[in-house]
Chain A
């Protein structure tokens, strides 16, 4: 039982390049989230998906797109990476109702040069 799996763990991009961060869960959770973690800023919500087939913007969606491919997978895409997107990205899931809180992935450390 892997829980929440994020790939890749590390990535270096050049400004303007694109990439997709993958998140997959085997917990049968309904809701999935993408956060970015920056020093002094805490975790900020980028996008979320309350259920398969739905996605919504969070606090900092600019420069990102998401896809909820199915119940298991929720990907985050950077179409044209910028240095301001250098961050650690976390995927999180929850069964619904927040009764067990979030389950987090191990994170993707992205550097844009």
Chain B
């Protein structure tokens, strides 16, 4: 079964501290992984995807197929990073529809 697990409901760090939001997945094929972010009272937006291998707002994520993980990292947290973060997996079926399976979400709280 396809599944995305984010083990932490809440991650609280101080400004300037490193951040790592964990994401583990279960998928039998070749996965496509994403991170989405939802700032307070805003719509969800794409933060990054593993295929692009880019850094957005200082965040990076590396797909580790051996550990089936796609952890989101940032070396120095900023207060404006406080938000809900969702890890998502593409669940492509025979219809080739890009259904996304989301994790439970992690709230990141960056304290001053």
- Residues of chain A touching chain B, judged by Cβ–Cβ distance below 8 Å, are 31, 33, 35, 40-45, 48, 50, 56, 58, 90, 92, 94, 96-98, 100-102, 104-107
A74 to chain B, nearest CB (A): 13
A59 to chain B, nearest CB (A): 8
- Residues of chain B touching chain A, judged by Cβ–Cβ distance below 8 Å, are 4, 6, 9, 32, 34, 36, 42-46, 49, 86, 90, 95, 97-105
Query: Which residues of chain A are within 8 angstroms of B9 by Cβ–Cβ distance?
Result: 40
CB pairs A–B below 8 angstroms (9 shown) = A35-B102, A40-B104, A42-B102, A42-B104, A43-B44, A48-B97, A102-B44, A102-B46, A107-B43
B108 to chain A, nearest CB (A): 15
Query: Which residues of chain B are within 8 angstroms of A44 by Cβ–Cβ distance?
Result: 102
B98 touches A104 (CB 8 A): no
The contact of A90 among B44, B46, B105, by CB within 8 Å, is B44
Given contacts A40-B9, A101-B34, A101-B49, contact A58 B44 (CB under 8 A): no
Q: How many A-B residue pairs have CB under 8 A?
A: 57
How long is the Cα–Cα vector from A47 to B54 in the complex, in angstroms? 31
How long is the Cα–Cα vector from A58 to B100 in the complex, in angstroms? 10
Query: Which residues of chain B are within 8 angstroms of A100 by Cβ–Cβ distance?
Result: 46
How long is the Cα–Cα vector from A85 to B98 in the complex, in angstroms? 25
Query: Which residues of chain A are within 8 angstroms of B102 by Cβ–Cβ distance?
Result: 35, 42-44
The contact of B104 among A41, A92, A102, by CB within 8 Å, is A41
How long is the Cα–Cα vector from A104 to B97 in the complex, in angstroms? 17
Closest to B6 in A: A42
B102 to chain A, nearest CB (A): 4
Query: Which residues of chain A are within 8 angstroms of B42 by Cβ–Cβ distance?
Result: 106
A56 touches B95 (CB 8 A): yes
Other 15 A-B pairs with CB < 8 A, given A33-B99, A106-B42 = A35-B102, A43-B44, A43-B86, A43-B102, A44-B102, A45-B99, A45-B100, A92-B44, A96-B98, A97-B98, A101-B46, A101-B49, A102-B36, A102-B100, A104-B43
